[in-house]
A and B are shown apart, each in its own frame.
Chain A
Amino acid sequence: MLKRTLTGGRIRERRLDLGIKQADLARQCGISAAYLNLIEHNRRRIGGKLLIDLAQALGVEPVALSKGADAELLQALQEAAARHSGDPATLEDARDFAARFPQWAGLVAAQQARISTLERTAETLTDRLAHDPFLSETLHAVLSSATSIRSAAAILVETREIDPAWRTRFQRNLNEDAEKLADQAQRLVQYLDSATDAQSDLSAPQEELEQFLAENGWHFPELEQPGRQDAERRIDDLVAERGGWLGREATALAKRWMRCMAADARALPAGEFSAAMQAMACNPAALAEAFECDPARVMRRMACLPAQPAAEAGPPSPFGLLVCDGAGALVFRKPVAGFSLPRFGAGCPRWPLFQALNTPAAILRRLVETPGEVSTRFLTYAVARPTMQGDFSGAPPMEATMLMVSLEAAKDFCAQAVPEGPDAFGPVQAVGSSCRVCPRTGCASRRELSILTEGG
């Protein structure tokens, strides 16, 4: 397995694994040994035919040398530079830094992610202070009591000759306000204590859910059992046993998602569904028709069912999944390598996920391409449909679901999933992660300037 994060490093590692001399590989690919040396040390860009030739000589797919991590690490470095100096480092500088000091580069990227999380926490706390109705009302009452106490106490101290009746009234007022203040302070402390316990309020509950599901391989064999009656108990047990660290909101999200997974498993039994996926070329529309069920359910099942469900510890599903509500807010995300998702905030408006919201019930199949030097093509299926509602009071809320898989992974998983021919899926659609970190220029869907390009 190639562990290096940059293309040059991966080429060198693979060459050394195979015991090929640098000069021999260079000759085979029609370049000088010195030039190959520069490539291997990430001092020269590589792509196109030369990348294909080198991959062929090294017996691997080109994507194995260039995929995923390069782009993500470089993007993280550029974002960190832009956020803290206001001047995004050039791609060459970031590449040079990552090549020379890979561990430091990883550290910078991790620190940037941590800073983003802390900034979000600060925003949440500020928002809470500004808008929490309980805090607002209680602080108002505390300040009113303090004002009253201050005024009455000052009158009693500063007025030399005060009518006994007024003195008695102010003493009584002082006593009343002191009691009110003590009660308000106590309620405030209790409230803040309970808020501190609920740490999920300060971090993103969805991130906790994502981590919880990822730690469990996005799959719970316990939920595959057919019985519906004790599913709730099994979910409670699983969350208590493996998700004790989850916050209050994340626990609720995890249970809701696991109920959905259990229902999906009952409707689409693992063995039968896994065989059908192969037989039907991983086509969610055909699978939905065959199993007479909601295409979104099929997509969830495809994303969460392990590649070999019968195996004790098989590889996870190669499919990623995104779910958004009618307002376009991401409510669920199962990421896949190479398809960058924004840590917070809105995603790329060009994702088929959002296009599906405009065409409810229609299953959209789109081939999309991620941006950057090491772009990857993903096959996506997206559908939007109304969510369940228990009354007839109005238009039901909409939800869109998108399944995505890289072409390479799709071929590995099921050879028929990607038919031959350049136009098998129609034109390639250019997408990004989010506008802020998207290097594409001239995009009609851009909503804010990119930190990676001048003028966006």
Chain B
Amino acid sequence: MGKRILLIEDEPNIVEAISFLLNRDGWEVSTHSNGKGATEAIARVKPDVLVLDVMLPGRSGFDILQELRANPETAGLPVLMLTARGQTKDREMAERLGATRFMTKPFSNTQVLECIQELAGNSS
């Protein structure tokens, strides 16, 4: 069985495209489209890598990341944060809260896949 990845992103077409790429690469992909219930989804799926959008309905990706890092069970989970805002302050905020990697939209398929593979390699 492949490694588990959870994709928390509210744009369904982005979710579909990334899911297709990851499935093809052998990942077991789960998705969640809302900030609310995100931590429960993480607890349920227990992913090896988490892809987390910053701007989510219900709750921001930064809030979710902060909670993950405060929890010993998820403090070391590799997290790739996605955002449409490439501002320095957002990048700094992501780093400060403990994001493993940070990627701004529009990213290429190759970029996102390589990044996730790298995170999976580091986590194994």
A residues sitting closer than 8 Å to B (CB atoms) are: 130, 136, 139-140, 143-144, 146-148, 150-152, 154-155, 158-159, 166, 169-170, 173, 176-177
Interface centre among A130, A144, A152, A154 (most CB of B within 10 A): A144
Cα distance A139–B16 in the bound complex, in angstroms: 21
Q: B53-78: which have CB < 8 Å to A?
A: 55
Q: Tell me if B11 is interfacial: C-beta within 8 Å of chain A.
A: yes
Q: Closest CB of chain A to B58's CB: distance in Å?
A: 16
Cα distance A437–B87 in the bound complex, in angstroms: 34
Q: Given A147-B105, A150-B106, A155-B109, is A139 in contact with B13 using a C-beta cutoff of 8 Å? A: no
Contact of B105 among A143, A159, A169, A177 (CB under 8 A): A143
Residues of chain A within 8 A of B18, CB atoms compared: 151
Residues of chain B within 8 A of A173, CB atoms compared: 13, 16-17
Q: Tell me if B84 is interfacial: C-beta within 8 Å of chain A.
A: yes
Cα distance A294–B85 in the bound complex, in angstroms: 51
Q: Which residue of A is nearest B104, CB measured?
A: A143
Cα distance A154–B16 in the bound complex, in angstroms: 13
Q: Given A169-B16, A173-B16, is A147 in contact with B21 using a C-beta cutoff of 8 Å? A: no
Q: Tell me if B14 is interfacial: C-beta within 8 Å of chain A.
A: yes
Q: Closest CB of chain A to B70's CB: distance in Å?
A: 27
Which 7 A-B pairs have CB atoms at the shortest separation, nearest pair first? Answer: A151-B17, A143-B84, A147-B106, A148-B13, A147-B105, A146-B106, A140-B84
Q: Mark B83-104, 1 if CB is under 8 A from A, else 0.
A: 0110100000000000000001
B residues sitting closer than 8 Å to A (CB atoms) are: 11, 13-14, 16-18, 20-21, 24, 55, 84-85, 87, 104-109
Residues of chain A within 8 A of B105, CB atoms compared: 143-144, 146-147
Q: Which residue of B is nearest A162, CB measured?
A: B20
| CB-based contact A155/B20 at 8 Å | yes
Cα distance A169–B13 in the bound complex, in angstroms: 9
Interface centre among A148, A151, A169, A177 (most CB of B within 10 A): A151
Cα distance A260–B37 in the bound complex, in angstroms: 54
Residues of chain A within 8 A of B16, CB atoms compared: 152, 169-170, 173
Contact of A143 among B13, B24, B106, B109 (CB under 8 A): B106
Q: Which residue of A is nearest B55, CB measured?
A: A140
Q: Which residue of B is nearest A143, CB measured?
A: B84
Q: Given A140-B55, A143-B105, A166-B20, is A151 in contact with B14 using a C-beta cutoff of 8 Å? A: yes
Residues of chain A within 8 A of B109, CB atoms compared: 150-151, 154-155, 158
Cα distance A158–B18 in the bound complex, in angstroms: 14
Cα distance A155–B14 in the bound complex, in angstroms: 12
Q: Closest CB of chain B to A345's CB: distance in Å?
A: 24
Cα distance A401–B24 in the bound complex, in angstroms: 71
Q: Which residue of A is nearest B9, CB measured?
A: A144
Cα distance A158–B13 in the bound complex, in angstroms: 18
Cα distance A152–B84 in the bound complex, in angstroms: 18
- Residue pairs across A and B with Cβ atoms less than 8 A apart, 24 shown, are A136-B85, A139-B84, A140-B84, A143-B105, A143-B106, A144-B11, A144-B14, A144-B105, A147-B105, A147-B106, A148-B11, A151-B18, A151-B21, A152-B13, A152-B17, A155-B17, A155-B20, A155-B21, A155-B109, A169-B16, A170-B17, A170-B20, A176-B13, A177-B13
Residues of chain B within 8 A of A139, CB atoms compared: 84
